[in-house]
């Protein structure tokens, strides 16, 4: 039995009407007004951490998110996107909608663009620096049976035994690795680098005697230092750490001007409206005045910024990019 001849035209008409309705709906959505900056924030904010849960950067992110939620009166959740020394997380945020709902907690690796090939973002163009959160001093450690007990002895021994003194790190391009390479560049010594899959395995290797030296975060080693199972040679930053007040800085120990830290700060996509950037920055500065957050950061061995805010952070990033570019070029370092 054949269909009436008028059915095909009805079907075509129905299709055209549906298509017109869909086009109208799309046009209506496109015409929807963008959320006014005065309404920000009206929903959950995501703070991206470029490192795995449980590490120092992740702990800082979770401490900060709690206080920032209170300051912004909106839920701030942490989302871990580890990989490529934090660059996967940074690239994700650089390409995220520039609406203030995606932020990145960075560490010092973001200031080493010349270390990595084919980065998917430009730190100077794609991201805006809102506020420094703190400086994370590192500590150069040695196994008690290592032939060195101070920076002076390390330099003397390395010069007398070129390339024969091993040190471990959390991987090529990690801040632990680059902190030791900065010492190499400043003193002209020759050390043999053994990369591990993270700072914790490198520290464990020093504890076991697999390697004599490494650079570690203070929270990872402070209990071992107090027990005498690790020897602290020096603190990497300009000032001593309250967690290890008797340990001299590398500069104090004979390398003037030496300074390296795993600092932390907040970045957002550069196209984020300035009023929203300003609002987040004010909330970050206010968060840094909170006693609970300050105590939490200090417990991690983190030194708080002088004031917080974008000016201090932008100046730091500019200095760090210049410093690390020179080290990377001189030592011919390439991240794998």
Domains and CATH numbers, the chain: 42-135+262-331 (3.40.190.150), 138-235 (3.40.190.10)
Q: How many residues does the chain have?
A: 336
Mean pLDDT on 257-279: 96
**141 within 8 A of 214, measured Cβ to Cβ:** yes
pTM for the structure as a whole: 0.80
Task: Note the pLDDT of residue 313.
Answer: 95
Task: Note the pLDDT of residue 172.
Answer: 84
Between 51-55, 64-68, 270-274, the lowest mean confidence (pLDDT) is in 51-55
pLDDT in tens, 119-129: 999 999 999 99
Which residue's structure tokens are 């471990």?
A: 168
Name the band, by pLDDT with cuts 50, 70 and 90, for residue 194.
very high
pLDDT > 60? residue 218: yes
Asked if omega into 41 is within 30° of 0 (cis), the reply is: yes
Task: Note the pLDDT of residue 185.
Answer: 93
Which residues are within 8 A (CB) of 109 and not within 5 positions of it... i.e. 6 or more apart?
85, 86, 87, 115, 173, 174, 175
pLDDT in tens, 44-60: 999 999 888 877 888 89
Mean pLDDT on 270-276: 97
């Amino acid at each position: 039995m054949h269909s009436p001849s008028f059915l095909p035209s009805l079907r075509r008409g129905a299709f055209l009407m549906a298509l017109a309705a869909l086009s109208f709906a799309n046009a209506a959505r496109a015409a929807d007004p963008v959320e006014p900056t005065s309404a920000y924030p009206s929903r959950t904010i995501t703070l991206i951490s470029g490192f795995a849960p449980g590490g120092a950067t992740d702990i800082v992110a979770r401490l900060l998110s709690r206080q920032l939620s209170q300051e912004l009166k909106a839920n701030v959740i942490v989302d871990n996107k580890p990989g490529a020394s934090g660059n996967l997380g940074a690239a994700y945020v650089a390409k995220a909608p520039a609406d203030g709902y995606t932020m990145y907690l960075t560490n010092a690796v973001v200031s080493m663009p010349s270390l990595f090939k084919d980065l998917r973002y430009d730190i100077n163009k794609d991201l805006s620096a809102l506020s420094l959160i703190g400086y994370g001093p590192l500590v150069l450690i040695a196994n008690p049976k290592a032939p060195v007990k101070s920076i002076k002895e390390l330099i003397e021994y390395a010069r007398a035994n070129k390339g024969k003194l091993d040190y471990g790190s959390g991987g090529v391009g990690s801040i632990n690795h680059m902190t030791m390479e900065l010492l190499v560049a400043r003193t002209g010594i020759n050390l043999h680098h053994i990369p591990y899959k993270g700072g914790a395995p490198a520290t464990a290797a020093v504890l076991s005697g697999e390697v004599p030296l490494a650079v570690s975060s203070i929270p990872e080693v402070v209990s071992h230092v107090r027990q005498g199972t690790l020897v602290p040679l020096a603190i990497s930053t300009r000032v001593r750490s309250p967690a290890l007040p008797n340990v001299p800085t590398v500069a104090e120990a004979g390398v003037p001007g030496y300074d390296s830290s795993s600092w932390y700060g907040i970045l957002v996509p550069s196209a984020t409206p300035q009023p929203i950037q300003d609002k987040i920055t004010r909330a970050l500065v206010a968060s840094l005045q909170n006693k609970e957050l300050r105590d939490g950061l200090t417990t991690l061995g983190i030194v708080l910024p002088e004031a917080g805010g974008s000016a201090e952070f932008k100046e730091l990033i500019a200095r760090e990019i210049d410093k690390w570019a020179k080290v990377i070029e001189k030592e011919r370092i390439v991240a794998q």
